[in-house]
Structure formats: structure tokens, C-alpha cells
Amino acid sequence: MKESRFGSWLAIVLGASYFLIPLIGTFEFSLRMKRGEYSFEAYRVVFSDPNFQASFLFSTVMAVVTVVLGILLVVPTAYWVQLRLPKLRPLVEFVTLLPLVIPAIVIVFGYLRLYNSSSFLPLTNSSFGTNVLLACGYATLALPYMYRSVESGMRSIDVRTLTEAAESLGAGWPTILFRIILPNIRSALLSGAFLTFAIVIGEFTFASLLNRPAFGPYLQLVGANRAYEPAALAIIAFFVTWACMGLIQIVGRARGDSARR
């Protein structure tokens, strides 16, 4: 039995080294900007770059818009499927899984054909229109994650009883949806939201091909032209992802507690 535990430890130690060494390497590299000493110079340069601030802000706003759009699309759908239209469940599930099958670059290629300046809906004509298109694209990319998380949240509460109780007290469907159902699946919504945020914030393909000044294309540009700043940016990006995942763990734990109560 000792032997099998040795094998497990070996796997964990090797796995941990594979994951930690690139992080350590990146961090060490990011400190090397000043010759002969370790400093946070690369971080200072990155944070004071107006393009960093602008692109990070742009992507943050896009991420928030995407989260709101995703919630507005997914919550009513999951609710109606659960309550009234269970027959549609396989179809809805199939559609929400499609973005995992169709590569993102193919989807955005289609957008450029469908919504170009000579099309029936020339969204790419103005920067506002392109931003709308980008948000819709991000909502599409996030659909599999958002839907799964909301759906599992709704399965864990008694949607039917809640709806009937609210109806008998005279509530209309917007009240039921936004004041009864939404607060009850708050933690599922939040984990979907943070995952969406993590996906959108560094996304490259959509933003680059739609020519939007987002964080992903900015990262790529810095990577092609600078030496030490990219390492600092990678560490920053890792911490943003880490923060999102940490928040998912926290809200997930909160959900576990309330279920036990």
C-alpha cells in the first residue's frame, strides 16, 4: 500500500511543478527589467501605460455588459423550459453547447460576413454597432457556461412552488422572474458571471478581428513589441483569473451553506 501512495505523491509533485514552474518563471522574468537587480519596473510601466488602462477598462465594461446580456437571455429561458416547456430542454441544451463545437474564429468570420457594411444589418459600420456585435459574440461564447450554471441553480430550488405561491399573491411574470427566481439562484448566477468575466477579459480572437481596442489584442501587441512587460501582464492576467475563480469558490460555498440550512 505504501507503493501506491508513493505513485500518487509523485503524480501530484510532478503536476504541481509543471503548473508552478511557468508561473515562477514568468514572475522572475517580469522582475528583470532593470539590469542587474530585481524590480517592479515592468509593472510600473504597464500600469502607467494609458493603452493598458483604456483597454482593460474597455474589456471590463464589455464583460459587465456581456454578463447582463447573458443573464437576460439565459434566466427566462431556463425558467420557462423548467416550468412550462420541458420538451424544449434537449433543443435548448443542444444550442447552448454549440459554441463549444463551433470554433470562435469561425463564429466571428460569420459575423463579418453577415453584419458587414453592405449587409441587411450593417453593425460593423459604427464603433457602437461593433461593440454591440462584440457583446453578442461574447454572450455566445459564454452561453455554455452561463446556461449550465443557471440551470443547475434552478434545479436546486423548487421553481414550481415558488411560482405558484407568487402567482396566488398576484405577482406578474416579471415580478416572479426578477424578484423571486433571480434572488434565489443568486450564487449560481454569480459563478456564471465570474466565469464569463474571466473568459471575456482576455479574449483575443473576437476583439482582434472586429478591431476593438480590448485587452486581448493589447496583450498581443505588447507581446510582439516588448520584452519584460508581457511577463508582468501575464502575472496580472493570472491574478484576474485567479480572483474570478476564487469568487466562484466563495459564492459556491455560500450556496452549499444555504442549501444545508
Partner 1 sequence: MIGVTPFFLFAILFLLLPTGILIVGAFQDSQTGAFTLANFGDLLQPSILSAFRISIYVSATSALGGALLGFALAYAAVLGKLPGWIRPTLTTFSGVASQFAGVPLAFAFISTLGRLGLVTLLLRDLLGFNLYATGFNLLTFWGLTLTYLYFQIPLMVLVVTPALDGLRKEWREAAQILGASPLQYWRWVAGPILWPSVMGATLLLFANAFGAIATAYALTGSSLNIITILLYAQIRGDVLHNANLGFAIAVGMIAITAASNLLYIWLRARSERWLK
Whichever of 57 and 85 has its CB closer to partner 1, that residue is 85
CB-facing half-sphere around the CA of 124: CA atoms within 13 A = 19
C-alpha cell recorded at residue 158: 423548487
C-alpha cell recorded at residue 175: 415580478
CB of 111 to partner 1, least distance (A): 5
Cβ distance 78 to 151 under 8 Å? yes
Whichever of 184 and 201 has its CB closer to partner 1, that residue is 201
**CB within 8 A of 232, min separation 6: which ones?**
30, 42, 43, 45, 46
Task: Name the 3-class secondary structure at 31.
Answer: coil
CB of 58 to partner 1, least distance (A): 16
C-alpha cell recorded at residue 208: 482582434
Cβ distance 182 to 147 under 8 Å? no
Whichever of 46 and 184 has its CB closer to partner 1, that residue is 46
CB of 241 to partner 1, least distance (A): 5
Whichever of 192 and 216 has its CB closer to partner 1, that residue is 216
Whichever of 40 and 80 has its CB closer to partner 1, that residue is 80
How many angstroms separate the CA atoms of 9 and 3, rounded? Answer: 10
CB of 219 to partner 1, least distance (A): 4
CB of 24 to partner 1, least distance (A): 7
